[in-house]
Structure 1
Amino acid sequence: MTNTPYPTPVTPSQTRIGWIGTGVMGAAMASHILSAGYTLSIYARTPSKTQFLQSLGAHLVDSPSQLAKTSDIIFTMLGHPSDVQEIVVSNPDSILSSINPGSVIIDHTSSHPNLAKEIYNAARDKNCYAVDAPVSGGDIGARDGKLAILAGGDENVVEWLHPLFSLMGKATYMGSAGCGQSCKIANQITVGGSLLGLSEGLVFAEAAGLDKRKWLEAVKSGAAGSLVMELFGERMIERDFRPGGFAEYMVKDLGMGLDVVEDDGDDSASVLPGAALCKQLFSGMVANGDGKFGTQGLITVVERINGKK
């Protein structure tokens, strides 16, 4: 196997792209590839969700295996590790069942590091490559092409994919297979804590009789300021809980982090009390029927605890 999957660069005239996952994030990310002139084939279990991308010139196919046969590089942006397992590995019509030698699978799903390693090894057995590349930046980052892309796998392959990653944001190579997913889990632990702090800050400010917008404006340029505050502060005040990422996915992501700690099973394993608390609060959102809210909806749980509906 050569150091790169192809001797030619990634260009619209030479590279066929496949895409699976056309939700809020996936559709926006794939649209940047179409806008750059690439030929894009798409598969979706719910074909109606592909209408936007088809209007931009994407071609709809019938199965992941058909997508694999006609693509050099295949992106997935799905909801859960179980979806990735089925679409990429396990189903008789999976991507790996029909992938062409030398092809590359890029999984943008927030998934489990162990699954990323499994896919990497299965791809290498097929004389292919796999990169785990979850993203951070939400729906706004996806729309604006400013996502943080956290990549694990072979460094030379990640570098080779730069022309595509740069359309969607900035890729950072994090290490071997699974390291991209571990980075995303650490990101979600940090984001979850920031969302909880922002939620409690807003609830306290209102109870203290402060104007919430003035409070937000006053503190966002100080030590409390963060991209989480920039992205979600006004949305929380406006009660805009439309999802960039679902709250139920945060339960999944934080749960994976806690599972990894438990799987380590040694005295050096990290203790993550904040992640455990945040998972419990996001689980409360799901129990309240708000799992499809955006993660900024965490404020509703803090409000309920304080007797507000």
Structure 2
Amino acid sequence: MAAAAAPFQPAFDASVPKSTRVGFIGTGIMGAPMAQHIMDAEYPLTVFTRTKSKAEQLIANGAEYAASPAEVAAASDVVCTMLGFPKDIEQVILHPETGVVANLKPGSVVIDFTTTEPVLAERIAAEASARNAGACDCPVSGGDKGAKAAKLSIFCGAEPAVLESVKPVLACLGTSFPMGIPGKGQHAKMANQVAIATTMIGLCESMVYASKAGLNVKDFLNAIAGGAAYSKSLELYADRITGGDMAPGFMVEHFVKDLGITLRECERMKISLPGLSLAHSLYLSVISLGHERSGTQALIRALETMNGS
């Protein structure tokens, strides 16, 4: 019978930024500003991204560039990842030879900010623990604006000692909410996506109705912003929608990935969420219209098409 893993002991003190080396993998819409905030807090930063041009500003600001995820892990006390899909997790974090976990030093931690399958978060934590390292699944909510303003909500799944060791790093990015053991951060994000998806349907449908009824849509949105219909989606996306701005704060293709994961978890848990199923179907329609890399506000385009707008 295998011996139980020893309790996690960090080999760094993240409350002393200059002595804690941080790696960041994935410097896209969300990852780039997150990495910059960490560097602004005076943590020495090493970055890797498949498209090096996406890291050029970080490099110009003082980050070191590594040639691979393995090199980032070898150079870092804390490795942060912000990737796209579960297949990216398998390749970048869990590859048995070149992945982050395989190259973690004892006492180091990997923080995965990607929204992915809870079972993958559990695997990352188990494999990290086998190397006397730690892992946190920390998917975030807040979109590009939250990332740029360091006001993300961070859903944390981790053993308490592991989470405690990286709290100063997480504080650079927003507010952390402990959700329980590894995997629970991902479950919290799935529930968050259910709330967002159904709220976005309500917002966009209300705008279609107001337009068809001959209302000034901007005036209508201003009127409901102070009442019970207010939502964060209204705050973040109403002006973008009325201005025809479909640029991504969070891409439709990633949202569909999240909703698909959530539906599979619902099936596993034997629960039925019809609003979630509807949202998934509608966002697939958005993709069919060619808006897979638009922001989630592009839902309005599918509803307009259905209604001949």
TM-score (norm 2): 0.96
The number of aligned residues is 304
Q: The residue matched to 1:110 in structure 2 has which SS?
A: coil
Distance, in Å, in 1 between the alignment partners of 2:275 and 2:209 is 20
Which residue pairs with 1:289 in the alignment? 290
**Structure 2 equivalent of residue 261 of structure 1:** 266
- Letter of the aligned partner of 1:176 in structure 2? I
What corresponds to 2:281 in structure 1? Answer: 280
Corresponding position of 1:14: 19
Structure 1 residues 103, 300: closer, same or farther in 2, change over 3 A? Answer: same
Shift of 1:307: 1.3
Residue number among 187, 194, 204 corresponding to 2:192 in the alignment: 187
Structure 2 partner of 1:168:
173
Alpha-carbon shift at residue 55 of structure 1 (Å): 1.5
CA distance in structure 1 between the partners assigned to 2:210 and 2:108 by the alignment: 53
Contact 2:146–2:152 (CA under 8 A) maintained in structure 1: yes
Measure the CA separation in 2 of the matches of 1:3 and 1:16: 18
CA separation of 1:56 and 1:7: change in aligned 2, threshold 3 A: closer
Cα shift readout 1:112-141 (whole Å, capped 9, x = no counterpart): 101100111011111110000000000000
Separation of aligned partners in 2, 1:55 and 1:128: 31
Which position in structure 1 is the counterpart of 2:48? Answer: 43
CA distance in 2, matches of 1:80, 1:52: 24
Map 1:97-246; keep pairs closer than 5 Å.
Answer: 97-246=102-251
TM-score (norm 1): 0.96
Q: Are residues 1:52 and 2:52 paired? A: no
Q: Deviations over 1:116-173 (max 9, x none)?
A: 0011101111111000000000000000000000000112321221211111100000
* Structure 2: stretches of 5+ with no match in the other structure: 1-5
| 8 Å CA contact 2:109, 2:135 repeated in 1 | yes
1:225-276 C-alpha deviation (Å, 9 max, x unpaired): 0111100011111111110110011111111111012123xxxx22111111
User: Is 1:247 aligned to residue 248 of structure 2?
Assistant: no
Distance 1:70 1:305 in 2: 52
Matching residue of 1:307: 308
Cα deviation, residue 37, structure 1: 1.0
Amino acid at match of 2:203: L
What SS class does the counterpart of residue 162 from structure 1 fall into?
helix
Q: Provide the aligned C-alpha RMSD in A.
A: 1.2
Secondary structure class of the residue paired with 1:45: coil
Cα separation, 2, equivalents of 1:163 and 1:102: 16
Residue identity in the other structure for 2:157: G
The worse-fitting range, judged by mean Cα deviation, of 149-158 and 104-113 is 149-158
Give the secondary structure class of the aligned counterpart of 1:222.
coil
The structure-2 alpha-carbon separation of the partners of 1:7 and 1:70, relative to structure 1 and needing over 3 Å to count, comes to closer
Q: Report the Cα offset of residue 283 of structure 1.
A: 0.7
Contact 2:80 2:112 in 1 (8 A): yes
Q: Deviations over 1:5-35 (max 9, x none)?
A: 2473432221000000000100011110111
The residue identity in structure 1 corresponding to 2:130 is: D
Query: Aligned equivalents of 1:42 and 1:6: distance in 2?
Result: 20
1:42-81 residue pairs with structure 2 within 5 A? 42-81=47-86
Q: Deviations over 1:94-120 (max 9, x none)?
A: 112221111100000010101100111
